[in-house]
Chain A
Amino acid sequence: MSATGIGAAVRRKEDHRFITGKGQYTDDISRPGETRAVFVRSPHAHAKIRKIDTSAAQKMPGVVAVLTGEQLAADKIGHLICGWMIHSKDGSPMKMAPHPAIASGKACYVGDPVALVVAETLTQARDAAEKVAVDYEPLPAVVDPAKAKAGAQIHEVAPKNTIYEWHLGDVKAVEAAFRSAKHVTKLDIVNNRLVPNAMEPRVAIGEYDTGNDSFTLWNTSQNPHVARLVIAAFIGMAPEHKLRVIAPDVGGGFGSKIFIYPEEVACLWASKRTGRPVKWTSDRSEAFLADAHGRDHVTHAEMAFASDGKILALRAKTIANLGAYMSTFSSSVPTYLYATLLSGQYDIAHIYCEVDAVYTNTVPVDAYRGAGRPEATFVVERLVEVGAREQGMDPAELRRKNFVRNFPHQTPVIMTYDAGDYNASLKKAMEIADVKGFAKRRRDAARNGKLRGLGYSTYIEACGIAPSQAVGSLGAGVGLWESAEVRVNPTGSVEILTGCHAHGQGHETTFAQVVADRLGIPIENISVVHGDTDKVQFGMGTYGSRSGAVGISAIVKALDKVEAKAKKVAAHMLEASESDIVFKDGKFTVAGTDKAAAWGDVALNAYIAHKFSGQELEPGLKEGAFYDPTNFTFPAGCHICEVEIDQETGETRVVNWTAVDDFGTVINPMIVEGQVHGGIAQGVGQALLEGAVYDKEGQLVSGSFMDYAMPRAENFPPFNIDTTVTKCPSNPLGLKGCGEAGAIAAPAAVINAITDAIGTEEVTMPATAQTVWAALQKANRMRPAAE
């Protein structure tokens, strides 16, 4: 392994600009003649808009325009769309309601934009927004997803507020397996609603160029090309070649910046209406009302066991809250990203899952770090843990007994697991976590009045999203390949253009490591270009832990072509047959001789083209590739959480965390560990702290950092992180992906630890001190006095 190649903990190339304050985030961009936009948002969860009077606002100082949904519709700006078609059990297509960028006639959630004020300064826009008079007629609000079907109908297209009633699996086989079961474990689960809260709030700058009749959008996006495609082809703002989308440095995404949002469309439209650049920067409290939320499932799940603890079957019925409108990929999250993972790491012959997706008068819900897979893992890992306890078995032993051991393994819910060693990660995690010493630690804690518990989560995820043909057959409106271009300059330095987007993942370093390793050139001589539709031809962006498995695979494919072409150039330079040229460590040699040409010389000769004729070989050294994966990848591992609970207050402290993950080949272990840390923190946040809470009227009660508990440094112990490796067989470097693992694994580990400590399964997320204390009180009351 070289100091900068695959496997080296190379310090990040991008860091210098971030630690010196020279990053360039969207809000750091200021366009000449720029105006500022402020949205007037509905204060009602569900209301008819009788009239909007903008006359007073128009007269306020500095106001350039006050725009409404009626004008948007008159300009024939299309609706936002959901790009993944799901069909119900009865074959009917999902009920996608019209979603205008600015509401017209009706507002469907608190925060739904109803008007846009454009002014010379932000303060002027804010002042004028206060003067927009909206006459609302409030309607009954639907808030609780479990009661949505009986609530007031929100959209004409969706009777009973039902978007789809979908299912997966063989219900008859599952019923038969349950009839033969020795033991059945049943759980009611609420997977709490979360607010992603990337630290950089969203920003959009729309700029219309009258000279060229073209638009530029600067936005905080994880996938600028998809934004351009949707805004051009579906919303009809401009032809695709007349719209440039630039997503510069982006301050975290976690899924929430995948989607195409109303504000991006509105700023582009307003820039054409006003002839000025229009910039909108979200406030944090506004972000709570305007960024897609995550999770929000209500589930009943059951697991059937044979007398020896073998899992016979699993069934689940889930109600998924998709909020007031269908966000860009919302339909796929509680279906193909969820039910397909219900086999976990286990050999389960029969699985059946039903999912009802409903509209409510809440912010749209879409993918958030893990997207469907944390929900699936929580169902499976809670059932296994509780099943073990109910049957008096050791939870690790029950897992071991049911692990998939032979690969490839076809689950009953679509996925074909390609490689893994689940026992290896469990074993290693148990050693690191010193599970053997836990009984003593528990006794010691009890002497201090503390309850100590240990919880496992042996999770699996499907990443490397995804084989285009497969997702197409499941309803995806796009292919999920990735593109790469390798541009070799005449001096031998290299630019990598990728359709992936980095917003914290360190692509500028890891992608360069792969190239340095392959070409044998210094990592300093490689730069990575992304995030601009005028520079990179196309790409599908970054989500689903796909940038390594799919994005890097595309780079490898392009490097194969570059090497092949460079060998031809070298053959001419060295006057040898192309088949005799060997490329190693940055040097081309003629096999069996001492004739050699360095990488830089070959690059130069490719461009000066003196050694070959144009008929024989094209000058230049630049190759592109599109890589379409042949399977999902299946990162998996074991996380073990140990908690201590104060019996008097119910306060839970995570005291030990062990994670052993199998991500296949690791390019930069430092970056991979960082991804795991961050994922765990978000998962622990979900389990202990975070929850979007709506009141009965549909007001978001937890609507700022004052009310929504974000994880802080003191909520965590240092994490113990390790890996095991089975390479992914379906891509050239054996990569599986690491971005979501922690968020997928952690919630179940935490709740399994808490319930282990307090001896009752009745704990909901977030397990705040109050929740745990109440569960303890209830459990103590139920316990016989003699105990």
Chain B
Amino acid sequence: MTAVSMTVNGKPVTADVDPRTLLVQFLREHLRLTGTHVGCDTSQCGACVVHIDGKAMKSCTMFAWQADGANVTTIEGLANGAALHPMQEAFREHHGLQCGYCTPGMIMAAVDIVKRKGHDLDDRTIREELDGNLCRCTGYHNIVKAIAAGARAMK
């Protein structure tokens, strides 16, 4: 077993885990933060994207111990209390989700895109930046719209 300590959604957590435990398993099964999803086993789909020290990472692609000491934000920690994050609100407003499974990863990735690429995102940029996130329901049309609107709202 390996001891891990990190801050998740502003709260310090410590646990002893099997060293093979993936960060996403740690979040979902140990902390019961089930908003972060697993959609594949090859780091393709992005349903598991969380923020580690402010950067979007696929939590299925690292062990829990690799996040030791890190500051982790999951979809559950994105809203400020009852007030939704502007990107969450944009996904709702623009029907950027259907079954909801890819949505947490999409929203976490989208916030990261805005941080890196700014608030005025064109269609092409958003589509290129979503290379690491798969959605099977929406055809991406409304996700792209939602991210553009969310980016503006984050100004």
> Is B42 a contact of A285 with CB atoms below 8 Å?
yes
Residue A1 CB within 8 A of the other chain: no
CB B116 to nearest CB in A, in angstroms, measures 16
Q: Which residues of chain A have C-beta atoms less than 8 A from B33's C-beta? A: 21
Residue B3 CB within 8 A of the other chain: no
The answer to whether residues A674 and B37 also contact, given A19-B91, A504-B100 and a CB cut-off of 8 A, is no
> Is B76 a contact of A20 with CB atoms below 8 Å?
yes
> Is B35 a contact of A22 with CB atoms below 8 Å?
yes
The answer to whether residues A12 and B95 also contact, given A21-B104, A712-B130 and a CB cut-off of 8 A, is yes
Return the chain B residue nearest A21 by Cβ.
B35
Q: Which residues of chain B have C-beta atoms less than 8 A from A395's C-beta? A: none
Interface string of A15-51 (1 = CB under 8 A from B): 1111111111101101000000000000000000000
Indicate which residue in B20, B40, B88, B131 contacts A713 across the interface (CB closer than 8 Å): B131
> Is A670 a contact of B137 with CB atoms below 8 Å?
no
Indicate which residue in B44, B76, B97, B140 contacts A21 across the interface (CB closer than 8 Å): B76
Interface string of B45-75 (1 = CB under 8 A from A): 1010000000000000000000000000011
Cβ < 8 Å to A, chain B residues 86-139: 88, 91-93, 95, 97-104, 107, 123, 126-128, 130-131, 133-139
Q: Which residues of chain B have C-beta atoms less than 8 A from A714's C-beta? A: 127-128, 130-131
The answer to whether residues A25 and B101 also contact, given A199-B47, A284-B39, A285-B41 and a CB cut-off of 8 A, is yes
Docked pose: A390 CA to B123 CA in angstroms? 39
Q: Which residues of chain A have C-beta atoms less than 8 A from B16's C-beta? A: none
Return the chain B residue nearest A250 by Cβ.
B99
The answer to whether residues A713 and B144 also contact, given A19-B92, A21-B75, A677-B139 and a CB cut-off of 8 A, is yes
Q: Which residues of chain B have C-beta atoms less than 8 A from A677's C-beta? A: 138-142
Residue A719 CB within 8 A of the other chain: yes
> Is A670 a contact of B34 with CB atoms below 8 Å?
no
Which of B91, B135, B143 has most chain A Cβ within 10 Å?
A: B135
Interface string of A695-735 (1 = CB under 8 A from B): 00000000011100011111010110000000000000000
Docked pose: A679 CA to B140 CA in angstroms? 11
Interface size class of B (residues with CB under 8 A): 35 or more
> Is B136 a contact of A682 with CB atoms below 8 Å?
yes
> Is B136 a contact of A254 with CB atoms below 8 Å?
yes
Which of B40, B135, B141, B144 has most chain A Cβ within 10 Å?
A: B141
Return the chain A residue nearest B128 by Cβ.
A714
Chain B residues touching A, majority SS: loop
> Is A705 a contact of B91 with CB atoms below 8 Å?
no
Docked pose: A14 CA to B91 CA in angstroms? 12
> Is A201 a contact of B39 with CB atoms below 8 Å?
yes
CB B111 to nearest CB in A, in angstroms, measures 12
Return the chain B residue nearest A124 by Cβ.
B18
> Is B140 a contact of A506 with CB atoms below 8 Å?
no
Docked pose: A258 CA to B131 CA in angstroms? 30
Residue A778 CB within 8 A of the other chain: no
Which of A25, A681, A712 has most chain B Cβ within 10 Å?
A: A712
Residue B38 CB within 8 A of the other chain: yes
> Is B40 a contact of A284 with CB atoms below 8 Å?
yes
18 contacts between A and B (CB under 8 A): A19-B91, A21-B74, A27-B38, A28-B28, A30-B29, A199-B39, A199-B101, A199-B134, A200-B37, A200-B39, A283-B41, A284-B41, A503-B99, A504-B137, A678-B136, A678-B138, A705-B44, A716-B141
Residue ranges of A at the interface with B (Cβ–Cβ < 8 Å) = 11-12, 14-25, 27-28, 30, 121, 123, 197-201, 249-252, 254, 283-285, 503-506, 670-671, 673-674, 677-682, 704-706, 710-714, 716, 718-719, 742
Of all A-B residue pairs in the complex, the 5 with the closest CB atoms, nearest first, are A21-B35, A251-B101, A18-B100, A504-B99, A681-B139
